[in-house]
Amino acid sequence: MALPVRRASRPRPAAPVALLLLAGVGAAFFLIPLVGLVLRTPWASSWQQLRSPDVLTALRLSLLASFSATAIALVFGVPLAWTFARLSFPGRAVLRAVTVLPMVLPPVVGGVALLLAFGRRGLLGGWLASSLGIHLPFTTAGAILAETFVAMPFLVITVEAGLRSMDTRFEDAARTLGASRWTVLWRVTLPLVRPSLVAGAVLCWARALGEFGATITFAGNFPGRTQTMPLAVYLALESNPDAAIVLSLVLLAVSLAVLIGLRDRWLGSS
């Protein structure tokens, strides 16, 4: 007769009470702000808030800027990731460090650096304005640039890791079958690192959506032009706290969606 197999109950490891208390405080530290946000949300008027022109404008601009930044990051970041993963050349480590620096750099410093490069009197900014007529600071393009600067490293390191862990013999197989390097890249390499590409793009997009410091420093805070959601939240906190809360909730929902979408990657499969 088959008895249901029961897992042998293992004695729980004895947990020091002090440790549990500290862990509890740590968990509460993350939980309470979320609870506060949800409790203080003016649910009755939130739909109204969301439909107010100011909020809609900020939302639209945020989506435009974050998706544009992600697209730019894909176009330039994937080749960069490939270069870091597949080529070895002198100065690679330094170049790679510079590329991922914005991940740890205070965003406001990034904004200042961008001003010095692309500002009116910046390294390239003057030339861009005089010869191409392109003005980046305090424009929507500038907001996109600032978001790209801060968010692209997330894509680069994610895709690079994917490329490094991929079995490159698939590329060899494709080449023996007559595939040019370009065909190998499009039909073998990129499809095989698709999970990393998706994760990198989502991560990059989420970071771009939440970007505040570099954007406000480099692009300013002009409604309809450079005022993205985080900027609008910050501004609304004084004039219209309910709108700030609703906007925050929207951003929170997006973040949660990203976290759930990438849970296998970050939280393990359990």
Residues 6+ apart with CB under 8 A from 19: none
Residue 185 interacts with another protein (CB under 8 A)? no
Contact with another protein (CB under 8 A) among 3, 178, 260, 269: 178
Q: What is the CA radius of gyration of the chain?
A: 23
Residue 180 interacts with another protein (CB under 8 A)? yes
Question: Six-digit token pair at 183?
Answer: 């065909």
**Contact string (CB under 8 A) for another protein, positions 11-50, x = contact:** ----------------------------------------
Q: How many CA atoms lie within 13 A of 41 on its CB side?
A: 19
Residue 229 interacts with another protein (CB under 8 A)? no
Residue 188 interacts with another protein (CB under 8 A)? yes
Residue 172 interacts with another protein (CB under 8 A)? yes
Nearer to another protein, 167 or 238 (CB): 167
> Which of 15, 32, 14 is closest to 23 using CA atoms?
15
Task: For the CB of residue 245, give the shortest distance to another protein in the complex, in Å.
Answer: 44
Task: For the CB of residue 169, give the shortest distance to another protein in the complex, in Å.
Answer: 6
Phi/psi at 166 (5° precision) = -75, 150
> Which of 109, 211, 115 is closest to 154 using CA atoms?
211
Nearer to another protein, 33 or 191 (CB): 191
Q: How far apart, in whole angstroms, are the C-alpha atoms of residue 197 and residue 80?
A: 13
CA dihedral 126, 132, 138, 144 (to 10 degrees): -120
Contact with another protein (CB under 8 A) among 117, 128, 139, 175: 175
Nearer to another protein, 172 or 253 (CB): 172
Question: Six-digit token pair at 188?
Answer: 């073998």
CA–CA–CA angle 156, 212, 153 (5° rounding): 5
Residue 169 interacts with another protein (CB under 8 A)? yes
Residue 192 interacts with another protein (CB under 8 A)? yes
Number of residues that bind another protein (CB under 8 A): 19
Residue 186 interacts with another protein (CB under 8 A)? no
Nearer to another protein, 120 or 194 (CB): 194
Site for another protein in 109-168 (CB under 8 A): 167
> Which of 253, 250, 215 is closest to 69 using CA atoms?
215
Query: Side chain identity at 25, as an amino acid letter?
Result: V
Residue 187 interacts with another protein (CB under 8 A)? yes
Residues found near another protein in the complex (CB under 8 A)? 167, 169-170, 172-181, 183, 187-188, 191-192, 194
